[in-house]
Each structure stands twice: as C-alpha cells, then as structure tokens.
C-alpha cells in the first residue's frame, strides 16, 4: 500500500447509525460499487473485490490516516462524493432522481456528479 495520507472526512460519515450516514453509505456504494467495507477494532477496511484495490483508515491522534493500494483509490472516490454532497448543501435522498436507460442506471442530483449504479 502507498504511503499514508490524512483523510479529509472521517469514516463516521458513512458508518454512524444515523439517517444521513445511511444515505451517504448508499452514495459511497454508488461511487465504488464493487467495494466491501468492514471494521476491525477502530480500523476501517475497504476492499474492491473486482480490481483488488484496498484502503484502510486508522485513527491517529486527532485525524484519520489513509493507506490505499491498487488501481482504484477507494477512499479518494468516496471523499469526492462526500465533498460534493457537502458543497451541494447536504441534499436529502428525496432530491435525487434515478435515470434508467438502455446503457444502465444513474443516480442524479443537479449539484453533484452523476453516480452510475452497478449493473446486474
């Protein structure tokens, strides 16, 4: 894995037992659809079962340290969605629309990047 960096967002944004975190977990899953998440102790692990990419988030003093490896930077992708969500004013699930067409499905919000949904 690559050298550690500091996380801009805490993993609690997607792991907390809140309605907002549930919504953010869905958006994160759209951003990295083949990724599985697990927590061991205080360390969050993300593993993309298709590309073999992985990320770990470890608490270090007052910040979270991120290590990523593989062709897809999983936490970086999730942070992009979290930042876009914040910049859009933290829109609720009811403000998103699902677009279905021949080529697939996308989740859209006027102030956020389009998120493709996994193909069956």
- Whether the full predicted model's pTM is greater than 0.95, yes or no, is no
Convert the pLDDT of each residue in 66-111 to its tens digit: 999 999 999 999 999 999 999 999 999 999 999 998 888 999 999 9
pLDDT at res. 28: 95
Which residues fall within 8 angstroms of residue 48, CB to CB, at 6 or more apart?
A: 32, 34, 35, 54, 70, 72, 74
């Amino acid at each position: 894995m690559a050298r550690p960096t500091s996380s801009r967002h805490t993993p609690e944004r997607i792991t907390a037992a809140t309605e907002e975190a549930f919504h953010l977990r869905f958006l994160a899953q759209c951003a990295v659809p083949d990724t599985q998440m697990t927590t061991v102790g205080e360390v969050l692990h993300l593993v993309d079962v298709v590309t073999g990419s992985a990320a770990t988030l470890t608490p270090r003093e007052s910040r979270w340290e991120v290590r990523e490896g593989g062709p897809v930077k999983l936490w970086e992708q999730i942070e992009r969605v979290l930042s876009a969500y914040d910049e859009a004013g933290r829109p609720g699930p009811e403000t998103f629309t699902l677009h279905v067409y021949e080529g697939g499905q996308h989740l859209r919000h006027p102030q956020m990047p389009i998120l493709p949904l996994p193909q069956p």
